[in-house]
Structure 1
Amino acid sequence: MKRYLALDMGAESGRLMAVSIDKEISTQEIHRFQTPVKIDSRNRRCWDFPKIMDEVITALTKASATGPYEGLAVDTWGLDFGLLDKDGVIIELPVSHRDHRTDGMLAKAFELVGKDRLHNESGCQLLEVNSIYQLLAIALQTPDEFEKAKHLLFMPDLVLYALTGVIGTEYTIASTSGLYDVPKDRWAQELAKDLGIPIEIFGKVENPGTIRGELKKEIQDKTGIGPIKCIATASHDTASAVFATPLVSPGSAYISSGTWSLMGVELPKPVVNEITMNQRLTNEGGYNRSIRLLRNIMGLWLIQEVRKNLKENGEDYTYAQLVELATKEV
């Protein structure tokens, strides 16, 4: 029997799971935590990355009691990223896609390069929260960040960097950015240039399943877990979910629900045309360079925010209790 660790992080919460693979696959939750948010010095809604890593360290410490493990894989939500300077230090906290810095950025991008290019040179749905519009916001609002930036790391790659010290970019998470040309399987260099986004901060894209590196010695010692391989899995959480779904035939549809809900199909090649653009469909990468043709739709973010706000005011409800209360009000 082989045993692995899976760090699965969403925009609401994260969890570390132990996965045992024998004749059957079994899982056990080791640690769960709320994904911490912080307002930075520029008054932006950010992910509190130091606290996230504190939770990851706590999770690995708990896991050390039930080891050993073959490896650790990491997936997170898409879109968000951190910028590193020439010394490998995070310049600012990663800004959440829920922050208002992207307000008006979609219209600005239309003005600069046109709607057709934004879709055709990426295959992505035109959503103002996408990485491309976050980067445009930096170019227009806080260009000093680009002056310092040497590398861009999406959230799962940023976690793996904190764990291993190795910089890398995984395919499925890169494909969510709006700056990866999914049809041509490369960064959309001309699109980035015309938006004032420095293309040199983007790294070589690796396949899902690549071993990124070994857990840092200081983290091994701190947690007691010892040496463990850290894997860039299908590191966009939806890509991992779809890969694990037993789709029975080509064209089988899936719905993946979390902070966002996503509905789509898995295909061997991207579909990019006027219909996909106008119907707000997106082509995102999957395992083995497959394509997830899908649409991002309203998910559970509103009810997550309601629950969080109630808890901050001393009223702690489960989701089941909130549904029951809402049913009584109908």
Structure 2
Amino acid sequence: MASTLINEKITLNEIHRFKNGATKQGKYYCWDVDQLLAEILIGLQKAKRAGITKCSLGIDTWGVDYCFLNQEGQRVGDAIAYRDSRTEQAPALFATKMPLTKLYAKTGIQIQPFNTIFQLLVEEPERVDQAATLLFMPDYLNYCLTGQKFTERTIASTSQLLNLETKTWDEEILQILGLTKDIFAPLIEPGTSVGSIQIEKFSDFDLPEVEVVAVASHDTASAVLATPGKSTENWAYLSSGTWSLLGLEKSNPLASPQAFAQNYTNEAGINDTTRFLKNIMGMWLIQEVARNFNQQYSFAEFVTLAQQEPAFAQFIDVNDLVFLHPDNMIEALKNYTVMTQQKIPATPGQLARAIYDNLALCYAHELEQLQHLTNMPIDILYIVGGGSQNEFLNQLTADCSQIKISAGPIEATAIGNVVMQMLAKKIFKNLQEARNIIQQSFPSKVFTPSETKVPLVQYKNFLKEQIK
């Protein structure tokens, strides 16, 4: 994406888009990081051909995953993907060494089997023995471009290795993993300049002059930055994409026993803020259903088909780990309803309706939990990201939660990325000014609750039964 500020409006133009996915490489599902780097270089070359001879660049990615470097600075093996099954039993194994309640109190990070801490616990010893440095995905790509090793704070916070109080690596946790803090590159804050691209290293590409800036490099941190909430509102955000991240921007973390019980997390945001949020499985469910139908149906067609089906025909805990990486999502959804003795969704429309209904119920339930945990009322929910285009789901969410919704911007992560670069360049005085500009640059659509009856109480009772 290329962006600039013209007449108090942010422009955003797509330069180059490419697919990314994990594939089986030997024993593990891995990312093709060499291809990712090549695509970035292709995008920069296209930018120069479009007349951009000088620019800054920010990279954001998903959290938790990492690359090892050896003493010579070369990558050790592949970058294993967080959806790989190697960590399924890792939380239980870690709990034999430290109670998970203590781990949460130290880090404030929700217990998810794919967290970096659990990946490192089950790492192959020979990979660890060769490792001199660990870099998270955006830090690794920055290193490939500039030769500089740094660890940006928002991405580091997803690892469950940072101590909430000291705000650096927790040595007791590292000791359990058999690591020392020397394996990590220096921590830096969002907005720090990493260095210039080593143009001579990439002589096959005609590149512009590029300064690399460490943005809020966890994609959710960038999306939250781009959420156009006002300081005068009591607002929450829902970053809706492959994952749905629902939460509040807070000045301090909240790592209470109640927050642990509800599996809420405290990830780092910009300006020393905390992203207090809940991970929800999100659009992954419908993306996988679409893939299983060999892309016969567009997402718009799934919505049309869903609207023709009866509402709330079954309850589904969208966060059940059976949906994390099943071989076939359609079969996983059907099997779930069989196991819970409910009507089986058989058609594309029924499957889509089940997903959308239960996402909306989950969002409403978690909004209640969020207000209860933080003792803060929420008057408006900002839905940002690709999922904000789903007007059917937006209205369902408004109806289930009885909260006003503002949907947009769609490209929130990209906008947050470029706005962080602009903040670093002092183009905006502060974050609120930047958010005001975002709101006037990218129109949003408001959804107000209707009086449609929704089975929220029954859904919550269903979840309680599943826990039992």
TM over 0.5: yes
Partner of 2:88: 103
Q: Quote the offset at 1:327 in angstroms.
A: 4.6
Consecutive unaligned residues of structure 2, counting only runs of 5 or more, are: 309-348, 351-468
TM, length-normalised to structure 1: 0.88
Question: Secondary structure at the residue paired with 1:120?
Answer: helix
Residue 249 of structure 2: SS of its match in structure 1?
strand
Alignment: residue pair count: 307
Q: 2:286 aligns with which of 303, 307, 327?
A: 303
Counterparts of 2:173 and 2:202 in 1: how far apart (Å)? 42
Cα 1:200–1:251 change in 2 (3 A) is farther
What are the superposed Cα offsets for residues 190-213 of structure 1, whole Å, 9 maximum, x if unpaired? 111123344321222100011111
> Could you say which residue in structure 2 is the equivalent of 1:18?
2
Residue in structure 1 matched with residue 304 of structure 2 by the alignment: 324
Q: Give the match's secondary structure for 2:79.
A: coil
Does 2:109 align with 1:127?
Answer: no
Which of 249, 259, 263 is equivalent to 2:246? 263
8 Å Cα contact 2:44/2:208 also seen in 1: no
Distance 1:180 1:222 in 2: 39
SS at match of 1:284: strand
Indicate how the Cα distance of structure 1 residues 146 and 279 shifts in structure 2: closer, same or farther if over 3 A, else same.
same
Q: Which runs of 5+ in 1 are unaligned?
A: 1-16
Separation in structure 2 between the aligned mates of residue 296 and residue 232 of structure 1, nearest angstrom: 24
Note the alpha carbon deviations across 1:131-174, whole angstroms, 9 max, x for none: 11111111xxx111110001111111111111111111000000
1:89 equivalent to 2:71? Answer no
For the residues of structure 2 that align with 1:319 and 1:245, how far apart are their CA atoms?
24
1:148–1:251 CA distance, 2 compared to 1 (3 A): farther
2:248–2:276 contact (8 Å) kept in structure 1: yes
- Which whole-Å deviations, capped at 9, do the CAs of 1:53-84 have from their partners, x for residues lacking one? 22112211111122034300111111111111
Residues in 2 aligned to 1:182 and 1:34: alpha-carbon distance in whole angstroms: 35
Q: Offset of 1:251 from its aligned partner? A: 4.8
2:234 and 2:28 map into 1 onto residues whose CA distance is 40
Quick one: structure 1 residues 19 and 309, their matched pair in 2 at CA, closer, same or farther if it must change by over 3 Å?
same
Cα distance change of structure 1 residues 63 and 316 upon mapping to structure 2, 3 Å threshold: farther
* Distance across 2 between alignment mates of 1:119 and 1:324: 42
Aligned to 1:61: 45
- The answer to whether the 8 Å contact 1:251/1:265 transfers is no
Deviates more, 1:190-199 or 1:270-279: 190-199
Distance in 1 between residues matched to 2:275 and 2:159, nearest whole Å = 14
CA contact (8 A) 2:45 2:208 kept: no
**Pair member with larger Rg:** 2
From the superposition, tell whether residues 221 and 119 of structure 1 become closer, same or farther in structure 2 (CA, over 3 Å): same
Give the TM-score normalised by structure 2.
0.63
Q: Which structure dedicates a bigger proportion of its chain to helix?
A: 2
Match of 2:29 in 1: 45
Distance 1:308 1:223, change over 3 A: farther
Q: 1:251 to 1:93 in 2, by over 3 A?
A: farther
Output the CA distance in 2 between the equivalents of 1:117 and 1:202. 23
Number of the residue aligned with 1:5: none
Does the 8 Å CA contact 1:166/1:212 hold for their aligned counterparts?
yes
Q: 1:201 to 1:86 in 2, by over 3 A?
A: same
Q: Distance in 2 between matches of 1:30 and 1:84?
A: 31
Amino acid in structure 1 at the alignment position of 2:287: Q
- Divergent runs of 4+, >6 A: none
Q: Which residue of 2 aligns with 1:281?
A: 264
Q: Which residue of structure 1 lines up, in the alignment, with residue 274 of structure 2?
A: 291
Structure 2 residue matching 1:223: 3-state secondary structure: coil
Residue of structure 1 in register with 2:197 after alignment: 215
Q: Is the 8 A contact 1:193 1:199 kept in 2?
A: no
Q: Is the 8 A contact 2:267 2:275 kept in 1?
A: yes
Q: Decide which moves more: 156-165 or 189-198.
A: 189-198
Distance 2:77 2:180 in 1: 17
Paired residue secondary structure (2:72) = coil
Aligned-partner residue type, residue 45 of structure 1 = Y
Q: Which whole-Å CA distance do the structure 2 matches of 1:222 and 1:327 have between them?
A: 51
Q: Distance in 1 between matches of 2:179 and 2:297?
A: 43
Instruction: Give how far 1:126 is off.
Output: 0.8
One-letter code of the match for 1:323?
Answer: V
User: Within 2, Cα distance between the matches of 1:225 and 1:63?
Assistant: 8
Secondary structure, aligned partner of 2:225: helix
**How far, CA to CA, are the matches of 1:324 and 1:101 in structure 2?**
38
| Structure 1 residues 326 and 45: alpha-carbon distance in aligned structure 2, compared to 1, 3 A threshold | farther
Q: Distance in 1 between matches of 2:212 and 2:112?
A: 32
Say yes or no: does 1:28 pair with 2:17.
Answer: no
Q: Kindly state the Cα deviation for residue 308 of structure 1 after the two structures are TM-superposed.
A: 3.4
Q: Distance in 2 between matches of 1:309 and 1:50?
A: 27
Once residues 219 and 195 of structure 1 are traced to their aligned partners in structure 2, the CA distance between those partners, rounded to angstroms, is: 35
Residues 1:220 and 1:146: Cα distance change in structure 2 (over 3 Å): closer
| CA RMSD of superposed structures (Å) | 1.7
